[in-house]
Amino acid sequence: MLNREAQDAYFDYDKSEVRDDGRTALTHDADLLKRIFAADPNFSVVIEGHCDERGSAEYNLGLGDRRATSAKEFLVQLGVPAARISTISYGKDRPVCTDANEECYQRNRRAHLAAAK
């Protein structure tokens, strides 16, 4: 259910603040997570922080971490239990798009929810 229904939160260039469209996506995700957690008390989620290809690997790992943390904090404010959410940064290592243009860069600047292993 998480893979089918969760929505990514996207970020502006070099920013980690949750945008308005990200708030909408994460509000949807909070409701989804509450339903999943109610159905499976052992389920937990990881928020992946991602960046576009610009900048150093080290810088983007830090930025991805800040993005994942911002998304987690927003979800917790909406009542999602913090203990069931972890974060990880992939920086620029796992792009969903590899074209060198702004549309592609935007798709890579995201917080993505995945089932924790």
- Dihedral angle of Cα 43, 46, 93, 17, to the nearest 10 degrees: 150
Which has more confidence, 117 or 42? 42
Nearest-angstrom CA–CA distance, 108 and 90:
11
What is the percent of the chain where pLDDT is above 70?
100
The C-alpha atoms of residue 32 and residue 65 are separated, in whole angstroms, by 23
* pLDDT value at residue 110: 98
The mean pLDDT value for 74-89 works out to: 98
Q: Identify the pLDDT of residue 117.
A: 86
Mean pLDDT to the nearest integer, 59-66 = 98
Secondary structure of residue 89 in the 3-state scheme: strand
The C-alpha angle with vertex 75 and arms to 69 and 77, in degrees rounded to 5, equals 105
The domain defined by 2-115 folds into: 60s Ribosomal Protein L30; Chain: A; (3.30.1330)
User: What pLDDT, on a 0 to 100 scale, did the predictor assign at position 114?
Assistant: 98
Residue 82 has pLDDT above 90, yes or no: yes
Element (H, E) at 88: strand 85-91
